[in-house]
């Protein structure tokens, strides 16, 4: 138990501090709830010139194995941005995939499918531009009006509630970073935002949580409806509503996976 608690402290060091997050994103929230002491999920932020990079990553599984993979992936992200100077999401994830794949193959003969699903945004505040690339993870946008920019039509979806409000979803690629197979194809997608728009980056833990009256998964559709209901609510309150919804759904069931939901206004 003591060693796990120490590992938890070490892992928390890699996460951006509240001060850092507030400096980069004055209006934001993070709902971060590992299944165990340590987590396969992590969130990450870096400032490069006039671009702020923000990511939510979900490494295979949970607990100790996932936490170890998360540290590898975290280091490769840092190497790619801090040392190699990449700031474009597609270039970053392509390079991280190469580094993680090389690391895995150098340390055991067969890749057992461990990898990282990630949504990564590069936000240019002066141009009001978001560039996005995802490996098996999407990004959600709550916007009054949405300009689809350079987003491929096949990757853009929207969820509409009963009031006719829309939550936009940009899909990520079908490959995990460092996953099995050499075919890692990823697309860059960009859009302009307006003041008051909100973006959400998530791992799959919230939507995959079992619970409710019939012990079923919460599911993505239900989560989109929840995010859409947040349209005019302050970010702090959005976090409290997410926590409340998660607890009410889970009840006395075991937590299914690590949970991360990050919202930025």
pLDDT digits 0-9 by tens, 179-189: 766 678 888 89
pLDDT given at position 54: 98
pLDDT confidence tier of residue 119, bands split at 50, 70 and 90: very high
Which residue bears the tokens 């396969």?
40
**227 to each of 141, 198, 201, 233, how far by Cα in Å?**
9, 10, 11, 10
User: What integer best gives the mean pLDDT of the chain?
Assistant: 90
pLDDT given at position 251: 94
pLDDT tens for residues 47-69?
A: 998 999 999 999 987 778 888 88
**Torsion sign across C-alpha atoms 63, 81, 264, 114:** negative
What is the helix (H) or strand (E) element at residue 56, kind and residue range? strand 51-59
- Say whether pLDDT at 1 is over 70: no
Average pLDDT over residues 8-36: 92
pLDDT given at position 147: 84
- Say whether pLDDT at 109 is over 50: no
- Number of C-beta neighbours around residue 37 at 10 A: 17
pLDDT given at position 2: 76
- Say whether pLDDT at 255 is over 80: yes
- Say whether pLDDT at 38 is over 70: yes
- Say whether pLDDT at 107 is over 80: no
pLDDT confidence tier of residue 115, bands split at 50, 70 and 90: confident
Average pLDDT over residues 225-250: 95
- For the chain, give the DSSP string: -HHHHHHHHHHHHHSPPHHHHHHH-SSEEEEEE-SSSS-SEEEEEEEETTEEEEEEEEESSSHHHHHHHHHHHHHHHHIIIIIT---SHHHHHHHHHHHHHHHHHHHSSS--S--EEEEEEEEETTTTEEEEEEEB--EEEE-SS---TT--GGGEEEEE-TTS-EEEEE--BS--BT-SSS------EEEE--TT-EEEEE-STTTT-EETTTTEE--HHHHHHHHHTTTTS-HHHHHHHHHHHHHHHHTTSPP-S-EEEEEE-
- Say whether pLDDT at 72 is over 80: yes
**149 to each of 129, 146, 152, 170, 185, how far by Cα in Å?**
9, 9, 9, 12, 20
- Say whether pLDDT at 13 is over 80: yes
- Say whether pLDDT at 96 is over 90: yes
Give the C-alpha separation, 109 to 265, whole Å.
Answer: 44
């Amino acid at each position: 138990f003591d060693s796990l608690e120490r590992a938890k402290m070490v892992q928390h060091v890699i996460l951006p501090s509240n001060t850092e997050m507030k400096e980069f994103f004055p209006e934001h929230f993070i709902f971060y709830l590992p299944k165990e002491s340590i987590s396969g999920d992590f969130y990450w932020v870096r400032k490069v010139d006039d671009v702020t990079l923000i990511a939510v990553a979900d490494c295979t599984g949970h607990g100790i194995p996932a936490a170890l993979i998360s540290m590898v992936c975290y280091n490769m992200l840092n190497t790619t941005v801090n040392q190699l100077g990449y700031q474009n999401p597609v270039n970053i994830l392509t390079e991280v995939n190469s580094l993680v794949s090389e690391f895995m193959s150098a340390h055991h003969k067969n890749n057992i499918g461990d990898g990282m699903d990630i949504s990564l945004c590069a936000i240019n505040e002066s141009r009001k531009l978001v560039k996005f690339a995802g490996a098996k993870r999407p990004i959600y946008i709550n916007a009054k009006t949405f300009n689809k920019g350079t987003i491929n039509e096949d990757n853009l979806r929207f969820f509409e509630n009963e009031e006719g409000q829309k939550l936009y979803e940009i899909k990520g690629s079908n490959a995990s970073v460092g996953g099995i197979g050499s075919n890692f194809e990823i697309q860059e997608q960009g859009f302009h935002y307006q003041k008051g728009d909100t973006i959400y980056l998530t791992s799959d833990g919230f939507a995959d949580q079992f619970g409710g009256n019939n012990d079923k998964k919460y599911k993505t559709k239900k989560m989109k409806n929840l995010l859409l209901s947040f349209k005019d609510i302050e970010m702090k309150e959005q976090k409290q509503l997410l926590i409340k919804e998660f607890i009410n759904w889970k009840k006395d069931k075991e937590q299914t996976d690590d949970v991360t939901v990050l919202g930025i206004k």
